[in-house]
Structure 1
Amino acid sequence: MEAVIADIRHELAADLDGAFPDLVRSRQDRIFSGVLRMVRHHADAADITQETFIRAYRALGGYEPARIEAMSLDGWLWTIAINLCRNRGRSRSPVPATIPEQPDRSVGPEELALRSTEEARWQQRLLALSPAQRAAVVLRHVVGLGYDEIAEATGRPVGTVKADVHRALTRLRRMVEREEAT
């Protein structure tokens, strides 16, 4: 994975317009998946993902090739995405969850309903966390970023990120245990 990113960085430094679609293709699903768990709504996540890449493209256009070659693209993209999530959270009031636009047709309606219910439960649990804990646990356990990358993306020290992940997992575990006890 790191070799792919290194190749993309090199290509971006040499030819931004030619290589940028490769960056988008290689990262958009991960960005979207993580953002969706932070903002809850499919349309918002799609908008934030798109805006992340628009801002990245504009910024990269002003960077020297050496700076592009040296940067951590994943951490940098996540910094943009997280800031957009924060801005979206400040500018909007919460609204009810929406039904997915294209349900999975490979499973029956009962299985689809169970998945939807369980996904809604996890979304509610995540929303009960502080924004910092939610971002940290999603980036670590959903997106799969390392603590250093999360620290870079969130602008928080590595120790704080580790504490946020630990506290979030502890809270999530307690929520699940309470639900199972009732």
Structure 2
Amino acid sequence: MVPRDMDAASEDADLLMQFAQGDRQAAQILTDRLAPRILRFAARMLGDRTEAEDVTQDTMLRLWRIAPDWQDTGIPPAAWVFRVAANLCTDRLRRRRSGPSEMPDLPDGTPGADTRMMQTTRAAALETALAALPERQRQAVILRHLEGLSNPEIAAIMLVGTEAVESLTARGKRNLAALLSGHKERLGYEDEH
């Protein structure tokens, strides 16, 4: 996924302001742009689709509530919603630390059974490895490599400098590689280098 450019960020801000002035179609367009990305992010952070849906809904409701007071502060609406979603995910992760964690069932695709089984196995291995990363590394890796955000966008979401994002992402990738390295044959990568 290619990082969003400033034109998209400006357009998102315009849509938010249009919604604040009563344009419901602007809200629908902005929801269609942002909600699927927030849902994917939250599902990967939490490992639970139902909780991710709750986080997405809560995040979008918060965006609509602040719309009348939105001012162009240099933070695009997309970065703002990712920051809110990240905070909501962190809150949920903290609350559940005392309870057992469970991996969600992953949806099947339309390819053949063998392909679906391998995709499911690979996705489960990635989700398990992601869940084993420290929270900040997991957040940086998901935002950069799975959501395609730029380092400056991630820095705005995580409230850190771009150097910290680079460090978190690099450490997260190294940790993921280490966690997955012993599973190449099981994941169907035995012939790949």
User: What interval of TM-score do these two structures reach, taking the shorter chain for normalisation?
Assistant: 0.7 to 0.9
Runs (4+) off by over 6 Å:
none
Question: What secondary structure is seen at the aligned counterpart in 1 of 2:81?
Answer: helix
> Higher helix share goes to which structure?
1
Task: Select 1:127's aligned residue among 105, 125, 131.
Answer: 131
Q: Does 1:156 align with 2:163?
A: no
The answer for unaligned runs of 5 or more in structure 1 is none
Cross-structure match for 1:98: 104
1: CA distance between counterparts of 2:124 and 2:42? 16
Q: Does 1:142 align with 2:149?
A: no
Could you say if the C-alpha distance between residues 76 and 181 of structure 1 is closer, same or farther in structure 2, counting changes exceeding 3 Å?
same
1: CA distance between counterparts of 2:164 and 2:73? 28
2: CA distance between counterparts of 1:94 and 1:77? 28
Identity %: 25
The answer to whether the 8 Å contact 2:17/2:68 transfers is no
CA displacement at 1:180 relative to structure 2: 3.5
What letter matches 2:31 in structure 1? V
Could you say if the C-alpha distance between residues 82 and 178 of structure 1 is closer, same or farther in structure 2, counting changes exceeding 3 Å?
same
Once the two structures are superposed, what CA deviation does each residue of 1:107-146 show, in whole Å capped at 9, x if it has no partner?
2333222211111100111011100000001000000111
Task: Select 2:46's aligned residue among 14, 39, 43.
Answer: 39
What letter matches 1:99 in structure 2? D
The answer for unaligned runs of 5 or more in structure 2 is 187-193
What letter matches 2:95 in structure 1? S
Task: Select 1:168's aligned residue among 157, 172, 180.
Answer: 172
What letter matches 1:119 in structure 2? A
Could you say if the C-alpha distance between residues 11 and 107 of structure 1 is closer, same or farther in structure 2, counting changes exceeding 3 Å?
closer
Q: What TM-score results when the alignment is normalised by the length of structure 1?
A: 0.87
> How many equivalent residue pairs?
177
Cross-structure match for 2:80: 76
The answer to whether the 8 Å contact 1:13/1:68 transfers is no
Q: What RMSD in Å do the two structures reach over aligned CA positions? A: 2.1
Question: What secondary structure is seen at the aligned counterpart in 2 of 1:167?
Answer: helix
The answer to whether the 8 Å contact 1:60/1:68 transfers is no
The answer to whether the 8 Å contact 1:9/1:69 transfers is no
1: CA distance between counterparts of 2:101 and 2:46? 11
Once the two structures are superposed, what CA deviation does each residue of 1:54-84 show, in whole Å capped at 9, x if it has no partner?
1111122333xxx148541121111101001
2: CA distance between counterparts of 1:127 and 1:85? 13
What letter matches 2:84 in structure 1? I
